[in-house]
Structure 1
């Protein structure tokens, strides 16, 4: 359980009770419960899918090799919640970005699915301000530096959203450990003043 309630703009997510799973050792394929996320480009066209196989009791990921797997054309694209125009919050994992979205429901978000893909994320031509929800590790630092440089070169203002210091690597860790109100209180001071009111409104 990731502590994310409610999930907004959930058209990008689906649940399948028996999603096809092929073990890496060549054993017989199985049908297992999974969360399926649709990956889209800036125009909303589907380019791929990301699957997370779940434990039967819903307590976490399935105890299998590589419980997260993606397919399709992923580079530059992402799992989107809300429509980005002038402002966008971008980050890596789906659960991380859903946590940010729960705290800042008025801002559109996108999960690029990995640090490498976050660095290569394609940005809307109308974008004026980009928040990068950075993971607190070396890969997250590198992704932030690369995407920040690209956005700045395009004339886009870049602001970092950083998780709380301590034993937490991402915003879902924050949410589970401290709760939604504390996560919201930590994120709001990191916003540009003109986005504070918008962030609290449901999109």
Structure 2
């Protein structure tokens, strides 16, 4: 319901009562001026256009674009992934059992702008929660999706120049699946780690989102063994070497997990779940096979 009073004051009331909405509109659309944000707010709230401009002094300070607070708000307004394009996207990539522990969400019309001079587009998107070691959200990662097409080149991502983007504070942090005790598997991409999670749903995992962020990922206190799910390329080799050195310096045992092809999602798609599970049986420490792989097999059965 629109605020009461002269039409010229309605947008002023909206800025006071719906300040969070203005911040979300600004961040989602990538708008820079108050006039643009106010116009979109009028449309959303179905308010009439005013003949005068609102006083800028009535507008709360907006959330900086790409900030941690903006990331938190984007995750909050997104939806669970069940029955959405995110679930379909992951299943098409061979991940039929999605053990995401609430770290993934779906936004049906996530705004995308190639640059500040380009028009705004809307695409469905997978929103991944980036957290620190204490579980606080520090950022999000967006993967824009093509709702109608899945080809071997884009693998279901939207036909955009940069269909993946992160916002917030990523350095040292990660998208986390499961609660870490003394063993952790860490790697780069979401699909890589979700592919391993598909066959090892009880093994805690973390996706650092890039090779450089994997190398810099902070390690939890009490960690005894670290599995590094490397990508088979030069950047993956470098990230593994740096993270191994950092982990061994604090007496953490490091065991690399190596895919047969480029990464573990490619392995899952080409060879299937049973082959990936068999490969993990050969690479896990014997006690972790019993603890994670055997338990996961029994649970799946």
| TM-score normalised by the chain length of structure 2 | 0.65
Structure 2: how far apart are the matches of 1:28 and 1:109? 37
5 Å matches for 1:81-100? 81-100=177-196
SS in 1 for 2:212: helix
The runs of 4+ residues in structure 1 deviating greater than 3 Å are none
Task: Check conservation: 2:228, 2:256, Cα contact below 8 A.
Answer: yes
Q: For residues 31-85 of structure 1, what are the alpha-carbon distances to aligned partners after superposition, in whole Å with 9 as ceiling and x for unaligned?
A: 2100000100000000000000000226200001100000110011000000111
5 Å matches for 1:54-133? 54-57=145-148, 59=150, 60-133=156-229
Q: 1:88 to 1:101 in 2, by over 3 A?
A: same
Structure 2: how far apart are the matches of 1:4 and 1:80? 17
Task: Check conservation: 2:248, 2:254, Cα contact below 8 A.
Answer: yes
* Matched residue, 1:149: 245
**What's the offset of the Cα at 1:25?**
6.9
Q: For residues 89-135 of structure 1, what are the alpha-carbon distances to aligned partners after superposition, in whole Å with 9 as ceiling and x for unaligned?
A: 00000000000111212200000000000000100011000000011
Q: For residues 5-48 of structure 1, what are the alpha-carbon distances to aligned partners after superposition, in whole Å with 9 as ceiling and x for unaligned?
A: 11013400011110111123722212210000010000000000
* Matched residue, 2:264: 171
Q: Which has the higher helix share?
A: 2
SS in 2 for 1:159: strand
- Pairwise CA RMSD: 1.3
5 Å matches for 1:188-203? 188-200=281-293, 201-202=295-296
Structure 2: how far apart are the matches of 1:77 and 1:103? 24
Aligned residues: 200
Structure 2: how far apart are the matches of 1:10 and 1:125? 21
SS in 2 for 1:19: strand
Structure 2: how far apart are the matches of 1:54 and 1:9? 18
Q: Which has the higher strand share?
A: 1
User: Which residue, 5, 23, 29 being the options, matches 2:120?
Assistant: 29
Structure 2: how far apart are the matches of 1:12 and 1:187? 24
| TM-score normalised by the chain length of structure 1 | 0.95
Structure 1: how far apart are the matches of 2:93 and 2:267? 11
Task: Pick 1 or 2: higher relative contact order, CA cutoff 8 A, min separation 6.
Answer: 1
Which runs of no fewer than 5 residues in structure 2 stay unpaired? 1-91, 151-155
